[in-house]
Amino acid sequence: MTDKYISKDGLNGLIASVKASGGRFVAPVLDTRQVVYKEVSSAEEIVDDYILPRNSYKEIAFPQTEILAKYELTRDGVTIDPVEIVARDTVVFGARPCEAASLASLNSVFTWDFIDETFTKRQEKVVVLSLGCVDADDECFCTTVNLSPASTEGSDVALYETENGYIVTPLTDKGTAFVSAHSDSFTDVAKGEEKKELVNPEKVEGVDLTKLGERLAKSPNYDNPEWAELTRKCCGCGACTYSCPTCHCFDIIDEGTAFEGERRKNWDACQFNHFTLHASGHNPRDTQYKRYRNRFMCKFHIYPTKFNSTGCVGCGRCIRVCPVRLDITDLMTAMSS
């Protein structure tokens, strides 16, 4: 399919068209003084001068909390009823190209051998409209992890900003189907319509992903005292994991009484002491540096080698939200040497 065009005003037509077909339109909006991905009903709500929304849109396919089943104990016995997975057609408008790669990474965890349908059923319904970045900040490091503001990995439709609108490039079958289904909202690209120049964030000096991966795979480096030194200021709040688009850890808990309640799947974080605490009191990750090391290993060793997917997309959220300014790229540099 050839490129199409949509003006910023024309987005209202697209939003209406998506809603009319029963879908949700999610875009970056200003909410409690932060830019976040949220469902919108008009183009006026959408902000366009953002670097990256505060939250990751992984929550569309992997909600912060969801009910898996409801249980009930009565005189007649026990019932446990699975809750139907509600998956709505969802359009993510303005996803950054770095983050677009993340759902595929999560998919690789949620589908190896056992298929977690609570994720896959929702992911199938997500159409990602990525928007090439014309601006970046000091925390952006996509180019360091071999992505860039022009990346299309995981994106269904690539959008490129022009003076008054967007040039629309369908990338996948899903993306083509989306543009066709809402064809009234798009026009052909007018002559002279020019893409704004994409930004090119500098690579973090000294990071070598291959060396980093090789180093993490070797046991003596695992026990290197450097880990404790470099991560000493980590306070274990877990903010990095919650904002990370590829962090997948979760908990399964019951909420309710012994008579009725719900079984839930909730986000969890490998940065907490109780996360791996055995009932016996033994804890394999009993200090914070071991927990930090686990997350770092997950991004740069486990995801790439075990799941053959991108562990870290370089969005920089973990750096922006960190209360103690622990910078993952500092660790990447140190571990590359």
Q: Which residue ranges make up the site for other proteins (CB under 8 A)? A: 68-69, 71, 73, 77-78, 80, 82, 85, 109-110, 112-118, 219, 222-223, 248-254, 256-259, 261, 263, 265, 268, 270, 275-280, 282, 284-285, 290, 294, 297-298, 301-302, 305-306
Q: How far is the CB of 114 from other proteins (least distance, A)?
A: 4
Residue 211 — left, alpha, or beta (φ > 0 → left; ψ -120 to 50 → alpha)? alpha
Which CB atom, from 116 or from 153, has the smaller least distance to other proteins? 116
Question: CB–CB of 121/134 below 8 Å?
Answer: no
Contacts of residue 188, defined as CB under 8 A and 6 or more positions apart, other chains included, come to: 2, 4, 5
Which CB atom, from 41 or from 64, has the smaller least distance to other proteins? 64
Q: How far is the CB of 289 from other proteins (least distance, A)?
A: 12
Q: How far is the CB of 10 from other proteins (least distance, A)?
A: 40
Q: How far is the CB of 121 from other proteins (least distance, A)?
A: 10
Q: How far is the CB of 297 from other proteins (least distance, A)?
A: 7
**Angstrom distance (rounded) from CA 329 to CA 260:** 47
Which CB atom, from 202 or from 226, has the smaller least distance to other proteins? 226
Q: How far is the CB of 79 from other proteins (least distance, A)?
A: 8
Question: CB–CB of 273/287 below 8 Å?
Answer: no
Q: State which amino acid sits at residue 52.
A: L
Question: CB–CB of 144/204 below 8 Å?
Answer: yes
Beta strands per DSSP E along 61-154: 65-74, 77-82, 90-95, 126-131
**Residues present in the chain in total:** 337
Which CB atom, from 302 or from 334, has the smaller least distance to other proteins? 302
Cα 278 to chain centroid distance, Å, stands at 30
Q: State which amino acid sits at residue 151.
A: S
Which CB atom, from 30 or from 115, has the smaller least distance to other proteins? 115
Which CB atom, from 17 or from 283, has the smaller least distance to other proteins? 283
